[in-house]
């Protein structure tokens, strides 16, 4: 029994698909899962032990180079690869017209959200079977319900399992990292989502006083500049080199806590079972908030005013560092 899952992007959305794959593998004996995902996020899909084959797609890169001949050769090659295998179900959980188009290239019964549930209603016309899923559910739950309907099982009562538990047992790859350490995910796609710089500076000094290092990854030159500025304020701050997802996961999984803004990497940290705090300074975590695996470490979503209150952050972080057993509210308004 082999299925094809289409969840291409973005980083957080791809992470949100992992629990549904775990559900399907647990409920459907002998299930094989192939996954179409954007090439830059293919590592995420490959981490799940039940994914047999990752099929990287380059929609973002192709869109920027449609006038070039090699782009159309790549598209043709990918389409041929996608059509070689027969699937019992082709499940598009992206709900966009472009993802529905990819589904149409595969051989198998096409499943997706119905017209009122898909992000782009026109996508529903491509599917042969559609599922109604309420919009007010968390993205993880929407994915779980779609796969359960397509494969005819019930997921109620199943634990939230991202499938990445084994990664926590891996020894640190970078033995030169200062111990213990907190990872600070300060970079995000929009300026409105950023945690104020003065709070990052306060955090760096607070951790330094407790002999806990702060590790700062970065993905752009602007983020690197901010990380270097934070590092200049406290001796315990370390700016990491630019890391790919595999290397960054190896750093995250051994952190005593992960502190971050509304970014896909916070969802990676949650999937890995890292304890931490997620700051939602300008967005509502109701449908896309960070949810840790169960059983797993506590991770809290702090919303708006709470995320901007240093007193709240200090109290929560101190509890995490001391191992205090906080209630596991998933959407936490303090």
Q: What pLDDT score was predicted for residue 330?
A: 35
d(CA 218, CA 240): 7
Give the model confidence (pLDDT) of 208-243 as tens digits.
999 999 999 999 999 999 999 999 999 999 999 999
Average pLDDT value for residue range 192-213: 95
pLDDT band at 246 (very low <50, low <70, confident <90, very high): very high
Residue 170 burial by Cβ neighbours in a 10 Å radius (0-12, 13-18, 19+)? exposed
Strand order of the sheet with strand 257-261?
Answer: 237-239, 213-216, 181-185, 257-261, 276-280, 299-303
pLDDT above 70 covers a percentage of the chain that reads 93
Average pLDDT, the chain: 92
Q: What pLDDT score was predicted for residue 171?
A: 64
Strand order of the sheet with strand 86-92?
Answer: 51-57, 32-38, 2-6, 86-92, 107-113, 129-131
Contact criterion met (CB below 8 Å) for 114 and 132: yes
Is 60 exceeded by the pLDDT of residue 207? yes
Is 80 exceeded by the pLDDT of residue 173? no
CATH number of 2-163: 3.40.50.2000
Q: What pLDDT score was predicted for residue 329?
A: 39
Contact criterion met (CB below 8 Å) for 126 and 110: yes
**Domain-by-domain residue ranges, the chain?**
2-163, 166-321
d(CA 260, CA 264): 10
Is 70 exceeded by the pLDDT of residue 160? yes
d(CA 122, CA 97): 6
What are residue 37's phi and psi, to 5 degrees?
-150, 150
Give the model confidence (pLDDT) of 288-321 as tens digits.
999 987 666 688 899 988 888 999 999 999 988 8
pLDDT above 90 covers a percentage of the chain that reads 81
Q: Domain 166-321: which CATH class?
A: alpha beta
Average pLDDT value for residue range 72-86: 96
Is 60 exceeded by the pLDDT of residue 43? yes
Average pLDDT value for residue range 185-210: 94
């Amino acid at each position: 029994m082999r299925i094809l899952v289409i969840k291409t992007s973005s980083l957080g959305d791809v992470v949100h698909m992992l629990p549904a794959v775990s559900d399907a593998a647990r409920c459907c004996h002998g299930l094989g899962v192939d996954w179409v995902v954007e090439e830059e996020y293919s590592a995420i899909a490959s981490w799940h032990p039940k994914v047999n084959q990752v099929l990287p797609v380059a929609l973002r890169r192709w869109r920027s180079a449609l006038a070039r001949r090699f782009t159309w050769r790549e598209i043709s090659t990918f389409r041929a690869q996608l059509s070689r295998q027969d699937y019992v179900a082709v499940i598009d959980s992206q709900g966009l017209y472009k993802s529905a188009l990819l589904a149409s290239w595969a051989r198998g019964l096409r499943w997706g959200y119905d017209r009122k549930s898909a992000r782009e209603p026109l996508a529903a016309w491509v599917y042969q079977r559609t599922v109604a899923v309420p919009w007010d559910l968390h993205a993880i739950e929407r994915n779980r319900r779609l796969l359960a309907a397509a494969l005819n099982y019930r997921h109620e009562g199943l634990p939230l399992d991202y499938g990445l538990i084994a990664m926590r047992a891996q020894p640190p790859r970078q033995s030169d990292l200062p111990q213990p350490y907190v990872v600070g995910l300060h970079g995000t796609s929009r300026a409105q989502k950023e945690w104020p710089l003065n709070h990052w500076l306060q955090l760096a000094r607070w951790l330094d006083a407790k002999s806990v290092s702060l590790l700062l990854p970065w993905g752009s030159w602007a983020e690197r500049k901010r990380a270097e500025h934070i590092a200049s304020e406290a001796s315990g701050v370390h700016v990491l080199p630019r890391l790919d997802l595999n290397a960054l996961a190896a750093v995250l999984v051994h952190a005593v806590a992960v502190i971050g803004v509304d970014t896909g990497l916070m969802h990676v940290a949650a999937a890995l079972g890292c304890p931490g705090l997620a700051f939602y300074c300008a967005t509502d975590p109701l449908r896309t908030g960070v949810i840790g695996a169960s059983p797993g470490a506590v991770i809290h979503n702090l919303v708006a005013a709470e995320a901007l209150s240093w007193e709240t952050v200090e109290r929560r972080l101190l509890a995490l560092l001391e191992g205090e057993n906080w209630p596991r509210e998933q959407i936490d308004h303090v």
